[in-house]
Structure 1
Amino acid sequence: MATQPHHLTLVQRNAVARLRLAAQGLLPGIPAATLPAPATTPADVVAALGMMQAQDLPQACWGVGVRLPGTGLGAIHAALADGSVIRCWGARGTLMLIDPRLHGALLAVTAQRMNAKMAGTRAQEDITEAEIGRLADVARERCAGTGATRAELLRAFEDAGSSIEGQRGYHLIVAVSLRGVIVQGPMEPGSETRQLFMAAGSWLPETGPHPDADGALAMLVRGYFESHGPATVADCAWWLGLPLTPVRAAVAALDPVLVRAELGGDTFHFADQHRERWEHPPGARSVLALPGFDEFLLGYRDRSVTLPEEHAQVVTPGKNGIFLRTVAVGGQIIATWELAGAGKARTGRFVPFGPEPGEGRARQIAARLDAYLEFREN
């Protein structure tokens, strides 16, 4: 849910939105703010953003694909298969695609708070720290080598004497994951939605000593503003699932390496390379067909810069945590889109918030929807 809208002028809103497009690698030919050159692999895309919301895996794959024009779904699955991209519970209690090199740092910052938020549910399910510790050893052994399906991992938990009835099995998997023991890697054979669980100790790359919690927080906060900026401290705290105070302190310590702008009563922080783009921000003519849950919209607590408040419930119907696919033109969300038909007859259809766009703009949007269909086939 968005907070109260920023009190920005139309010019300021458009500038912030378009600089975010550039920061996130959504403008062809302009590298994401954290990359020296445009992304060429799925790993580049995920590394540029640090983490990407991914509870809906097929849509998360398109979130990578839309930032890598011309690639196909198979390339994203290949990145999951070779470990250059992983999926895990990273922040806010939801699944994320992340750069595997960030795994330890991310859990050092977020795991304690996520565990605290889940304490009540675990108590209701009679899940104890001792049981989690015991099953962490079970998972480490079962997921070594070629990994394990969700069903195989749950069966191992059951064989070890733990109940997996109802949602208890799911909560056990999350608890073990937050201990850094397992991550999700290659796709299960024949599935586009389920992945194998892999033992983190053998699956993740060697990265040397992990930074302490303060160092990890500084790294994640800097990465957020460079990859998502211009954004506010409140946006970053929401993204990480942390209170404002530690994030504000981390931003203050990063003052020499982040640029700030006072707009509409808020302070926006962003990467240094955007300093000279304020006057002429790129992306005015950009047209994008974004997945649901995309970082361009979901990566901020206040989304009113790109999505007017009067249209928010169209994108998040029922306010139940579901984000529909959207069309962004010049950094502004102007429509939702969906798939119709099946098989070779499947097509994309967009639903504008207001009047139908002109013929030229409609052709541009249709071409972006066709690009998604091609992505699904490759």
Structure 2
Amino acid sequence: MTLHIDTAQRRARLAWRHGLAGPTPPGNGPEDVAADLVALHATDPATVHLSVAARLHTPLVATVEDALYERRSLLRMLGMRRTMFVVPVGFAAVVQAGATRAVAAEQRRLLLRHLAESGVGDAAWLADVEESTYEALRRRGNATAAQLAADEPRLRSLMVFPQGNQYVTSRLLLLLAADGRIVRGRPVGTWISSQYAWSCLPDWLPEPLPELDPAHARTELARAWLARYGPGTAADLKWWSGWTMTHTRAALRALEAVEVTLDGGETGFVLPGDTDPVPDPGPWVALLPSLDPTVMGFQSRMWYLGSHAPALFDRTGNAGPTVWAGGRIVGVWAQRPTGQVAVELVEEVPAATRRAVDRAAKELEGWLGEARVTPRFRAPLEKELAESR
């Protein structure tokens, strides 16, 4: 008989495993949060810090920066779905082989096509500019994109597109990063800046990332996702990982993942030995940032999002800041120009929950201090709330 895991149990698992319920374990740091979530979304640089703060409830900008740029126990890298993530260094090789390597191959094909269509160069030209750029970065130790373009003028070659021209610079640096040769270092500016100095990966880490078999890496990536997000459907895992369905099913078979039924009639999967129910975490609330991994961990979101996607996500599926209560999204938060963290609920909640949400908003407001955070991808209700008086 197939085991059934209902929505209440899915919400309880998410609460415990994503560090959203219960006391923060003593000594937990940014690396623990990243591991609990498999990877931290980093397309918007503020998300990394806010996702950590939502779990550890303490001002941790300096601690996160120390993990990223001094101790380098966390690594910012391109990963699943060609998305920027921050991952524990010990897990980076799994992401590289299980997701990034395929992204790099596809990006190389696209760049070569665009170079040819623009009359800029061919594969030999690209290889020569890559090596020249890498050597320029090696000589400098670290450098911004503008500094590298000054050293290698061919980075300023223009590719022509209907929507506007584009320099080769960003595409080539992305390709070198996806190939595991260079890494984004400290931002140029504050912790919310999206411009970075680059470094060669061998200069950034004491040891090179081990080369893993892609099929093995995909299995380990699926194992990590199921351990933290399961039960989830094959479609959820396919979307989150960016794999084909063939690769997704192969990873699930390799894990001998256990089929379960979910509310609504879908088939989900959990790891072997992960079929026992977890306890009810009790009431909890959290204010999560835009693109938080908990929000973005699934393709099918009705069980925690309901019908609120048009107000809380942008048109391309990027989540704005969300208010959570008891395992479901109940509202949105936004920071106004004054620094106030405002909240608007989209569902009725008990008075005690509303008070807890208001306390969390005040806590976040104090945490942000003088910083002003505007999500890179604006959800309609967040934008409206931020601009209202």
TM-score clears 0.5: yes
Shift of residue 67 of structure 1?
A: 1.9
Give 1:55's match in structure 2, choosing from 20, 43, 57. Answer: 43
Q: 1:259 to 1:157 in 2, by over 3 A?
A: farther
Report whether the alignment pairs 1:348 with 2:341.
yes
Q: Which amino acid aligns with 2:319?
A: F
Shift of residue 246 of structure 1?
A: 1.3
Give 1:100's match in structure 2, choosing from 89, 101, 119. Answer: 89
Contact 2:93 2:209 (8 Å CA) reproduced: no
Q: Tell me the secondary structure at the aligned position of residue 298 of structure 1.
A: coil
Shift of residue 364 of structure 1?
A: 0.9
Contact 1:288 1:329 (8 Å CA) reproduced: yes
Q: 1:192 to 1:297 in 2, by over 3 A?
A: closer
* 1:189-228 correspondence to structure 2 within 5 Å: 189-190=189-190, 192-193=192-193, 194-206=195-207, 209-228=210-229
Give 1:84's match in structure 2, choosing from 73, 78, 97. Answer: 73
Q: 1:105 to 1:176 in 2, by over 3 A?
A: same
Q: Which amino acid aligns with 1:186?
A: R
Aligned match of 1:5: none
Share of identical aligned residues, percent? 22
Contact 2:145 2:169 (8 Å CA) reproduced: no
Shift of residue 160 of structure 1?
A: 6.9
Contact 2:28 2:56 (8 Å CA) reproduced: yes
Report whether the alignment pairs 1:375 with 2:373.
no
Cα RMSD for the two superposed structures: 2.8
What is the distance in 2 between the residues matched to 1:68 and 1:29? 9
Q: Tell me the secondary structure at the aligned position of residue 296 of structure 1.
A: coil
Aligned match of 2:260: 261
What is the distance in 2 between the residues matched to 1:350 and 1:176? 41
Q: Tell me the secondary structure at the aligned position of residue 68 of structure 2.
A: helix
What is the distance in 2 between the residues matched to 1:80 and 1:375? 20
Shift of residue 163 of structure 1?
A: 5.1
Aligned match of 1:312: 309
Corresponding pairs, count: 353
Q: Which amino acid aligns with 1:180?
A: G
Q: Tell me the secondary structure at the aligned position of residue 224 of structure 2.
A: helix
Shift of residue 181 of structure 1?
A: 0.7
Structure 2, unpaired ranges of 5+: 160-164, 371-389
Contact 1:90 1:106 (8 Å CA) reproduced: yes
Q: 1:239 to 1:177 in 2, by over 3 A?
A: same
Contact 1:327 1:334 (8 Å CA) reproduced: yes
What is the distance in 2 between the residues matched to 1:263 and 1:161? 52
What is the distance in 1 between the residues matched to 2:318 and 2:180? 27
Aligned match of 1:243: 244
Q: Which amino acid aligns with 1:14?
A: A
What is the distance in 2 between the residues matched to 1:56 and 1:86? 15
Displaced runs of 4+ in structure 1, greater than 4 A?
159-165, 271-274
Contact 1:65 1:72 (8 Å CA) reproduced: yes
Aligned match of 1:13: 7
Give 1:41's match in structure 2, choosing from 4, 20, 29. Answer: 29
Aligned match of 2:373: none
Q: Which has the higher contact order (CA 8 A, sep 6+)?
A: 1
Contact 2:96 2:180 (8 Å CA) reproduced: yes
Q: Tell me the secondary structure at the aligned position of residue 22 of structure 1.
A: helix
Aligned match of 2:328: 332
Structure 1, unpaired ranges of 5+: 1-8, 31-36
Give 2:143's match in structure 1, choosing from 140, 148, 156. Answer: 148
Contact 1:14 1:305 (8 Å CA) reproduced: no
Aligned match of 1:301: 299
**TM-score, normalised to structure 2's length?**
0.81
* 1:118-129 correspondence to structure 2 within 5 Å: 118=107, 119-120=109-110, 122-126=112-116, 128-129=122-123
Contact 1:100 1:205 (8 Å CA) reproduced: no
Shift of residue 91 of structure 1?
A: 1.8
Contact 2:76 2:86 (8 Å CA) reproduced: yes
Shift of residue 140 of structure 1?
A: 3.4
Q: 1:124 to 1:154 in 2, by over 3 A?
A: same
1:128-175 per-residue CA deviation (whole Å, 9 max, x = no partner) reads 443443344344334447522232233334267855862532211111
Q: Tell me the secondary structure at the aligned position of residue 40 of structure 2.
A: strand
